[in-house]
Amino acid sequence: MKKFLTLCLSLACSGAFAQDSLQYYNQKRYTTTATGMKVLSSWGLVNLAVGATGWATTDGTTKYFHQMNTFWGGINLGIALLGYTNAQKNKGKSFNPTESLAEQKKMEKVFLINGGLDVAYLGTGIYLSHRGNSKNDDKLKGYGSSVIMQGAALLLFDSIMYATQKGNGGKLRAFLAKNPVMFDGNKVGMLIRL
């Protein structure tokens, strides 16, 4: 009986440390996402300010380049605010192992899909720029250059965010493989791989 109690207490104590570590990975995911959304909102604000100024003070291809950057700035700012608001909903929230993995996979998938969209933006920008050059159309040339720049910047951003989230996810998965028993002070749980 004494050995059984010792085993139970050992599992409970190691699980308590494991739960704290699980929360560490959840906090890391939140911090990475929140920081990324702050960076994206800054990029959006810069595009709004510089784009609006350029739109108002230039003409020709440059005017249309700034006009499109202004539009992108508003979109990027809106997406960043939405992403930050969603991240705030999960701040400090306690996730069990299954929920932690699901949230982690969701974040990885979001940035991976966004990276694919960024490649499509680059292709669209190249097409618009080419079309503008062949038709000598300032609007298409300006829009094309802007979409190329925005696509490249967003591809860089989403690639960094994906790599960071994927790295955190790898550490989370390794942690859960080593700590299948969790204890949060009220209940004991076990992660079983199917």
Q: How far apart are CA 14 and CA 183, in angstroms?
A: 8
Q: Is 71 inside any structural domain?
A: yes
- Predicted confidence (pLDDT) per residue in 6-36, tens digit: 444 444 434 444 556 889 999 999 999 999 9
- Domain count for the chain: 1
Q: How far apart are CA 15 and CA 185, in angstroms?
A: 9
Q: Is 144 inside any structural domain?
A: yes
Mean per-residue pLDDT, 143-168: 98
Q: Is 153 inside any structural domain?
A: yes
**What's the pLDDT at 6?**
41
Q: How far is CA 101 from CA 27, 95, 147, in A?
A: 13, 9, 35
Q: Is 121 inside any structural domain?
A: yes
pTM to 2 decimal places: 0.83
E-strand stretches of 13-67: none
- Predicted confidence (pLDDT) per residue in 35-91, tens digit: 999 999 999 999 999 999 999 999 999 999 999 999 999 999 999 999 999 999 988
User: Terminus-to-terminus CA distance in the chain, angstroms?
Assistant: 32
Q: Is 15 inside any structural domain?
A: no
Q: Is 125 inside any structural domain?
A: yes
* Nearest partner of 146 among 84, 54, 11, judged by Cα: 54
Q: Is 81 inside any structural domain?
A: yes
**What's the pLDDT at 94?**
86
- Write out the residue range of the structural domain in which residue 90 sits: 29-165
**What does the angle CA 174 – CA 179 – CA 182 come to, to the nearest 5 degrees?**
130
Q: Is 93 inside any structural domain?
A: yes
